[in-house]
Amino acid sequence: MNRRILILSIPLLLFLGASVFLYKGLFSDPTELESVLIDQPIPEFTLQDLHDLDKQHDKGIFTGQPMLLNVWATWCPTCYAEHEYLNELKAKEGIYIIGMNYKDEREKALRWLDNLGNPYAIDLYDPRGMLGLDLGVYGAPETFLIDSNGVIRYRHVGDVNDRVWQQTLKPIFERME
């Protein structure tokens, strides 16, 4: 009898466990992915410049002032949606932004910037996604707030728009200055 109750209760326990797991997922925000790199320096890397493949960049470009690192690609429709706002941030607020073209074709990326404007002070080219992998990038767009010492202070998954900038990113960015 006890064995029969045990066998019959296993599916019920599995169902209850799965229900709790799925219920918790209903209230999670997919744009708030935890990052082990928060409060850590940018990882070591060497990447080519998107415009000049003979020019190399390393983590030294992430020092001297607070900035955004924006991960983008031409294959990403959300990146297209956020690009105009990034141009505004640069032009109207003087925000220093480094762009990282992620797992993309160089010629398409260059045409994109020529046609839509270039909000980036430096354009990194990460065709294999190696720096993206080190940063824990899931896809594009993702934006990192980096302080003047090259330390990652915040990670945002999804597009940067006026609401996200004003409510979330700008207050953190201003504390970094």
DSSP 21-34: HHHHHHT--TT---
Least confident of 10-14, 35-39, 159-163, 171-175: 10-14
Residue 31 pLDDT exceeds 50: no
In angstroms, the CA 162 to CA 170 distance is 10
The whole-model pTM stands at 0.82
Composition of the chain by helix, strand, coil, percent to 5:
45, 20, 35
Q: Return the pLDDT at 177.
A: 75
**Is the separation of the CB atoms in 132 and 102 below 8 Å?**
yes
Instruction: Determine what percent of the chain is predicted with pLDDT higher than 70.
Output: 82
Domain ranges in the chain are 35-174
Q: Binning pLDDT at 50, 70 and 90, where does residue 29 land?
A: very low
CB 72 within 8 A of CB 164: no
Count how many Cα atoms sit within 13 Å of the Cα of residue 87 in the half-sphere of its side chain. 13
The pLDDT assigned to 36 comes to 73
CATH of the domain spanning 35-174:
3.40.30.10
